[in-house]
């Protein structure tokens, strides 16, 4: 045998290996193949190939593993159990950039499934290696590492703390400043995941100077980057007043409002969320948003979109209105109430309706003027029907009732209250009648109108327990009218009149 023949054997073997890993990697892209691959014991076959002498094979086998682990958490767990992670982590420091990328992909695919799997990633020391990869020259490697770190940090505060302790934050902040859009995007998303768990973590991110860079990128034309940036800012701002103020101080204000007009739905949603998280903390911050015209922009945004994208905007209006009556008035004059009324009737999902009901309650609860503005938009019957509807969720019913009560206790706009007299249940009726009993003694025109519109008749038909507040209110109303009128409208009065006719003896001359 010649030397050539000997070498040919090796060549064939290498070709076969290459073809095997490439085929497996390609098969792993289709979900229907995964189970077959798993049953064929693909993991144990791929594991030795991770240590192959040929870099291409190593890289491709890592890629195949990543795709398998990406598919579901059973496979990810199998990857963890198969002791593959230490090999990956070991070689993460050694190999070329393609291998690093593939290895980071595997780590990401494992970490994304559950906190336990992410914890196992942390336990095998991968986080430190990933942080080292963040310092790599190649943007692709950085991107993969940042993504993996984000997936680890996403689950809970301890895992985020582990990532922060490994020193990832300053490097991620550096990654945001890189020119590559994809890297920026992933780094911003990782920062968002890091800072969402606790104020301390958010403070760490802020201390690394992330806010200024994030705020600069709000104007970036790339929609996906904008999404992540806005999400990161809102995750930072949500924890405390100080953090929210720091976010505001980065002069995001007129700029964020343009994002509310973005064609991308998620950009809209995230920017509304950011505004909501800032408005939530103090009246001063809300005031600042109102002064910047944020309320009008949010209201327009609510009008332009549908479904879940509306939710943060709706809640933002509620938070702003809850702080003080002036702010609630600002929401009213920004034409927020009609928009919320539209949301209340248009939206199909209960939680959005509940949010709209809550916001309306917050707007209407301050003064009679506020309540009037809400009542004029014809919201009360809608709220009542939501409260009475048996198909509404419990939360929606509670919110609708609370809102109704808040508004009714301040409402003196009688025309809006009248329809409620006819179809409200006793616990709501109490408030409605109470409002009538407060207004009628002082307003003669309203008294007249109340009789002609049939309200008095309705009042007489209410059967209240003697001594209950409802009965007291009814008595107060009855005292505003002459005896005969009250008796005339009492049920059964015609009967008594007829009886009197029967018993009457005509005087014959």
Partner 1 sequence: MATLERLRKEMSDLIPEFFRQCRAADENRLAEYNAAVVIQSWFRGSRVRAHLRHLNRMVNVIQKWWRGYLARKYFRNKVKTAYFIMKMNFYNDMAVRIQKMWRGYYVRKYVHNYYALKKYLEGVAIKNSLVRKELEEYATMREKEKLKQDLEKEERRKNYEARKMHYLLSTEQVAGVFNSPYRQYPDEMEFRLQRARPLSHRDLPKKSNDSDGFVDWSDCRHPFSFPTTSLLPPINKKKPQGPFRDVGEVLQQRYKPLEPTLKVATSFTSVEEAREEIKRQEWAKGFQDVMFAPFASFHKNKPYEPLIHTSTEYKRIPYGNQNFRVEEATKWVTKKRASAFG
Of 165 and 300, CB closest to partner 1: 300
Confirm or reject binding of residue 191 to partner 1 (CB under 8 A): no
Of the candidate spans 36-44, 326-334, 443-451, 494-502, the one that interacts with partner 1 by CB under 8 A turns out to be 326-334
Largest CA distance in the chain: 153
CA–CA dist 480, 161 (Å, integer):
68
| CA distances from residue 185 to 122, 180, 201, 231, 232 in whole angstroms, order as listed | 23, 9, 20, 11, 10
Q: How far is the CB of 424 from partner 1 (least distance, A)?
A: 32
CA–CA dist 89, 103 (Å, integer):
8
Of the candidate spans 18-26, 164-172, 313-321, 368-376, the one that interacts with partner 1 by CB under 8 A turns out to be 18-26
335 alpha-carbon distance from chain centroid: 23
Footprint on residues 115-174 left by partner 1 (CB under 8 A)? 140, 144
SS3 136: coil
Of 100 and 353, CB closest to partner 1: 100
**In the set 232, 290, 340, 404, which binds partner 1 (CB under 8 A)?**
290
Of 196 and 268, CB closest to partner 1: 268
What are residue 72's phi and psi, to 5 degrees?
Answer: -150, 175
Q: Are 364 and 407 in contact (CB under 8 A)?
A: yes
Compute the residue count for the chain: 509
Q: Are 258 and 297 in contact (CB under 8 A)?
A: no
- Using a 10 angstrom Cβ sphere, with 0-12 exposed, 13-18 middle and 19 or more buried, the burial of residue 361 is buried
Of 58 and 161, CB closest to partner 1: 58
Footprint on residues 204-223 left by partner 1 (CB under 8 A)? none
**In the set 8, 44, 291, 427, which binds partner 1 (CB under 8 A)?**
291
**In the set 34, 69, 79, 105, which binds partner 1 (CB under 8 A)?**
105
Per the listing, tokens 């003697």 go with 466
CA–CA dist 210, 205 (Å, integer):
6
Of the candidate spans 63-71, 372-380, 437-445, 455-463, the one that interacts with partner 1 by CB under 8 A turns out to be 63-71
Confirm or reject binding of residue 228 to partner 1 (CB under 8 A): no
CA–CA dist 216, 226 (Å, integer):
10
Confirm or reject binding of residue 326 to partner 1 (CB under 8 A): yes
Q: How far is the CB of 293 from partner 1 (least distance, A)?
A: 3
Q: Are 436 and 449 in contact (CB under 8 A)?
A: no
Q: How far is the CB of 70 from partner 1 (least distance, A)?
A: 7
- The residues that touch partner 1, with contacts defined as CB under 8 A, are 22, 25-26, 29, 55-56, 59-60, 63, 66-67, 70, 96, 98, 101-102, 104-105, 140, 144, 257-258, 260-263, 290-297, 300, 326, 329-330, 333-334
């Amino acid at each position: 045998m010649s030397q050539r023949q000997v070498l040919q054997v090796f060549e064939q073997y290498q070709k076969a290996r290459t073809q095997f890993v490439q085929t497996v990697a390609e098969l792993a892209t289709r979900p229907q193949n995964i189970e077959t691959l798993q049953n064929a014991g693909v993991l144990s076959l791929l594991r030795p190939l991770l240590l192959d002498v040929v870099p291409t094979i190593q890289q491709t086998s890592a890629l195949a593993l990543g795709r398998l682990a990406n598919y579901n958490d059973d496979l990810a767990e199998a990857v963890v159990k198969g002791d593959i992670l230490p090999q990956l982590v070991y070689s993460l420091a050694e190999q070329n950039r393609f291998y690093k990328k593939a290895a980071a992909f595997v780590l990401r695919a494992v970490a994304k499934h559950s906190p336990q799997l992410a914890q196992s990633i942390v336990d095998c020391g991968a986080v430190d290696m990933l942080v080292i990869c963040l310092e790599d020259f190649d943007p692709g490697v950085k991107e993969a590492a940042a993504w993996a770190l984000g997936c680890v940090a996403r689950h809970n505060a301890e895992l985020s703390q582990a990532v922060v302790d490994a020193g990832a934050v300053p490097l991620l902040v550096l990654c945001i400043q890189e020119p590559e859009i994809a890297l920026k995007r992933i780094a911003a998303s990782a920062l968002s995941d890091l800072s969402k768990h606790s104020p301390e973590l958010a403070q760490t991110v802020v201390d690394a100077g992330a806010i200024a860079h994030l705020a600069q990128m709000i104007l970036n034309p790339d929609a996906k980057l904008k999404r992540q940036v806005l999400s990161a800012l809102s995750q930072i701002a949500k924890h405390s007043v100080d953090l929210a103020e720091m976010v505001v101080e980065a002069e995001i204000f007129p700029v964020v409002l343009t994002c509310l007009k973005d064609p991308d739905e998620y950009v809209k949603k995230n920017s509304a969320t950011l505004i909501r998280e800032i408005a939530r903390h103090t009246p001063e911050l809300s005031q600042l948003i109102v002064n910047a015209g944020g309320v009008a922009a949010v209201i327009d945004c609510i009008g332009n979109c549908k479904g879940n994208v509306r939710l943060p905007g709706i809640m933002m209006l509620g938070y702003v209105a809850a702080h003080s009556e002036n702010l609630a008035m600002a929401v009213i004059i920004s034409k927020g109430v009609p928009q919320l009324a539209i949301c209340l009737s248009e939206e199909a999902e209960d939680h959005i309706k509940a949010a709209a009901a809550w916001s309306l309650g917050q707007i209407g609860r301050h003064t009679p003027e506020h309540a009037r503005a809400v009542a004029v938009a014809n919201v009360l019957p809608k709220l009542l029907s939501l409260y009475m509807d048996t198909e509404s969720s419990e939360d929606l019913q509670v919110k609708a009732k609370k809102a109704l009560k808040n508004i009714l206790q301040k409402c003196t706009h009688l025309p809006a209250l009248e329809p409620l007299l006819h179809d409200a249940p006793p616990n709501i009726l109490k408030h409605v009648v109470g409002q009538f009993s407060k207004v009628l003694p002082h307003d003669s025109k309203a008294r007249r109108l109340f009789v002609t519109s049939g309200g008095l008749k309705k009042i007489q038909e209410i059967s209240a327990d003697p001594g209950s507040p409802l009965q007291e209110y009814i008595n107060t109303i009855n005292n505003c009218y002459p005896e005969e009128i009250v008796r005339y409208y009492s049920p059964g009065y015609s009967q008594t009149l007829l009886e009197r006719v029967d018993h009457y003896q005509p005087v014959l001359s």
